[in-house]
Chain A
């Protein structure tokens, strides 16, 4: 019973995170590309309940940041005017999943103040909004690439396990080759053979294809093992005896056994692939500006002064860790469940 609750909790967390990122437009207060050159590297906004005169406010409020007179990129709160945090405010227009258009945002403050939940970057863009939108790219890359890997793995594993002989032999050699290679080296190598200067959309799909193609080996091997053992079952022989075709046997008797493994693999691969996308973008081989992804957001930290002075630029890393943790919990839970089922 406790185990079940754990799965449910982890799943809920993941669903909430994905939903939030899908609804980035609504949750993020600003357009991720809007620059605010007067406010580069603004620290995260502080929330207050008590104002300068000691009055308590039920609704939290913020002060606007102003540049400290003597410092460079250093800010202090302008205590002159309070800006209460408002919910469901109108702001810049956005679309959700390319379908719903709206301009209502979850929260915001009245202008000219701006609310920077996770500070701002060198162009004064709201980092929280950039993380939300960047999450769309990173998550989509992870999910799509996982889809590709699982599809390829399922395909190769099924054919290899079901038809055996030389097909199996050669497929498994190839699997070993892919398993033993350091994936990042391979990823870089493959990426290096692809054109560098292409549109962000093309880059994104190329990236997904490359990441997805590299990770097919482990699912393929696991699926093959399951197909092999399922194929040897008596009920498969019996099914042949009724005149069942290969495709019927695969569909009805073999594939259902692979779902558990595919699910576990998915939960393991998605965070890995999100990290792969982040890594490539971080290294400048992935999604590039002005489109944001967690990778190129983190790439800001490659500049020494950013790393040393602006701790809030680590915020995308936190998002990455939370997502990874959620997937890991789910993967563990599914794995435990499968093991207790098989006994």
Chain B
């Protein structure tokens, strides 16, 4: 089974790839010569197969969000290359970037902060279309309503503002906005963290449905291996700016090579057994 899965993706070239990616943050305190150096990424090598779901797992501060922002071209790495659809893109010009951006979209963790509270739901979803001049006028609104339906929100709510939605609904809005430009690659930065379990499951189901419908490639970032680990095709584990383990999910789960992976797995199992006991006790 492990061989099958690897083979399924190995034939196609990687959709996105990072090679030797490094990023360092230097923060200088005011009126002082001291500065703090944080190596957020250290020589990261990372492949993402097309139409797959890759889970990127690591503790907070391990550099996964930096990697995500670099891959989404929202931040420039200090060194290294980023390949997308067979092209090196990390040194793209502004114009090339504008053409590239629709293909790579990102969904943020904090849905309340990632949606402008002054916009209506329809305006939020329509924003990328407006920016990229895909649609205009009345078409903009009707397309936004279609997208709302696609992520399971009633178009009747098109005029509501983000704060009138629940956490899960807001995340759906963010997803609708991200797929508006029909991207090939969707980066989900902790997109289901902070939601309760059943909502998490609903959102993940929605993501899987969308993947089937639009043949999307996902990079799902999470600080724990919980639910996310269960549905991923590939798993990568990050620690202190480095990818310490990377491979098909089953392989990583069955035979973790790095001790950090083992720790993460152990905590998942512990949680799950606790959860089962709690359920059993409840009945």
A interface, by DSSP: helix, strand, loop or mixed? helix
Q: Are A242 and B102 in contact (CB under 8 A)?
A: yes
Contact of B181 among A240, A242, A256 (CB under 8 A): A242
Contact with A along B123-144 (1 / 0, CB 8 A): 0000110011000000000000
Decide if B43 is an interface residue (CB 8 Å cutoff).
Answer: no
Chain A residues, CB < 8 A from B177: 238
- Smallest Cβ-Cβ distance to B99: which chain A residue: A243
Chain B residues, CB < 8 A from A234: 108, 110, 113-114
Decide if B76 is an interface residue (CB 8 Å cutoff).
Answer: no
Q: Are A237 and B108 in contact (CB under 8 A)?
A: yes
Decide if B238 is an interface residue (CB 8 Å cutoff).
Answer: no
Q: Are B127 and A239 in contact (CB under 8 A)?
A: yes
Q: Are B115 and A248 in contact (CB under 8 A)?
A: no
Count B-side interface residues using an 8 Å CB cutoff: 24
Taken together as a complex, chains A and B put the C-alpha atoms of A244 and B131 apart, in Å, by: 6
Residue from B98, B116, B127, B174 with most neighbouring chain A CB atoms (10 Å): B116
Q: Are B131 and A238 in contact (CB under 8 A)?
A: no
Decide if A87 is an interface residue (CB 8 Å cutoff).
Answer: no
Decide if A253 is an interface residue (CB 8 Å cutoff).
Answer: yes
A234-B114, A235-B114 are contacts. A241–B106 as well, Cβ < 8 Å? yes
Decide if B9 is an interface residue (CB 8 Å cutoff).
Answer: no
Chain A residues, CB < 8 A from B18: none
Q: Give the shortest distance, in Å, between B203 (CB) and chain A (any CB).
A: 17
A234-B114, A235-B114, A235-B116 are contacts. A241–B105 as well, Cβ < 8 Å? yes
Decide if B101 is an interface residue (CB 8 Å cutoff).
Answer: yes
Taken together as a complex, chains A and B put the C-alpha atoms of A243 and B181 apart, in Å, by: 11
Chain A interface size band reads 10 to 19
Decide if B56 is an interface residue (CB 8 Å cutoff).
Answer: no
Q: Are B131 and A235 in contact (CB under 8 A)?
A: no
Taken together as a complex, chains A and B put the C-alpha atoms of A240 and B128 apart, in Å, by: 9
A234-B108, A248-B131 are contacts. A243–B74 as well, Cβ < 8 Å? no
Decide if B72 is an interface residue (CB 8 Å cutoff).
Answer: yes
Decide if A81 is an interface residue (CB 8 Å cutoff).
Answer: no
Q: Are A241 and B97 in contact (CB under 8 A)?
A: no
Taken together as a complex, chains A and B put the C-alpha atoms of A243 and B72 apart, in Å, by: 11
Chain B residues, CB < 8 A from A256: 118
Q: Give the shortest distance, in Å, between A327 (CB) and chain B (any CB).
A: 27
- Smallest Cβ-Cβ distance to A257: which chain B residue: B118
Taken together as a complex, chains A and B put the C-alpha atoms of A239 and B125 apart, in Å, by: 11
Q: Are B113 and A243 in contact (CB under 8 A)?
A: no
Q: Are A239 and B131 in contact (CB under 8 A)?
A: yes
Taken together as a complex, chains A and B put the C-alpha atoms of A25 and B118 apart, in Å, by: 44
- Smallest Cβ-Cβ distance to A238: which chain B residue: B114
A238-B108, A241-B72, A242-B127 are contacts. A253–B116 as well, Cβ < 8 Å? yes
Q: Give the shortest distance, in Å, between B33 (CB) and chain A (any CB).
A: 18
Q: Give the shortest distance, in Å, between B89 (CB) and chain A (any CB).
A: 14
Q: Are B116 and A243 in contact (CB under 8 A)?
A: no
Chain B residues, CB < 8 A from A235: 113-116
Q: Give the shortest distance, in Å, between A98 (CB) and chain B (any CB).
A: 39
Q: Give the shortest distance, in Å, between B229 (CB) and chain A (any CB).
A: 25
Contact with B along A254-272 (1 / 0, CB 8 A): 0010000000000000000
Q: Are A243 and B106 in contact (CB under 8 A)?
A: no
Find residues 73-127 in chain B having any chain A CB closer than 8 Å to their own CB: 73-74, 97-98, 101-102, 104-106, 108, 110, 113-116, 118, 127
Decide if A3 is an interface residue (CB 8 Å cutoff).
Answer: no
- Smallest Cβ-Cβ distance to A253: which chain B residue: B116
Taken together as a complex, chains A and B put the C-alpha atoms of A241 and B98 apart, in Å, by: 9
Contact of B128 among A242, A252, A253 (CB under 8 A): A242
Find residues 126-175 in chain B having any chain A CB closer than 8 Å to their own CB: 127-128, 131-132, 174
Taken together as a complex, chains A and B put the C-alpha atoms of A233 and B116 apart, in Å, by: 9
Q: Give the shortest distance, in Å, between A45 (CB) and chain B (any CB).
A: 55
Find residues 207-265 in chain A having any chain B CB closer than 8 Å to their own CB: 233-235, 237-244, 248, 252-253, 256
Chain A residues, CB < 8 A from B97: 243
Contact with A along B191-212 (1 / 0, CB 8 A): 0000000000000000000000
The 7 closest A-B pairs by CB, nearest first: A242-B128, A243-B101, A234-B114, A234-B113, A243-B98, A242-B131, A244-B131
> 13 A-B contacts, Cβ less than 8 Å apart?
A234-B113, A234-B114, A238-B174, A241-B101, A241-B104, A241-B106, A242-B181, A243-B101, A244-B127, A244-B131, A248-B131, A252-B116, A256-B118
Chain B residues near A (Cβ < 8 Å): 72-74, 97-98, 101-102, 104-106, 108, 110, 113-116, 118, 127-128, 131-132, 174, 177, 181
Chain A residues near B (Cβ < 8 Å): 233-235, 237-244, 248, 252-253, 256
Given contacts A235-B116, A238-B114, A242-B128, 8 further A-B contacts (CB under 8 A): A234-B114, A235-B115, A239-B131, A241-B72, A242-B105, A242-B131, A243-B101, A243-B132
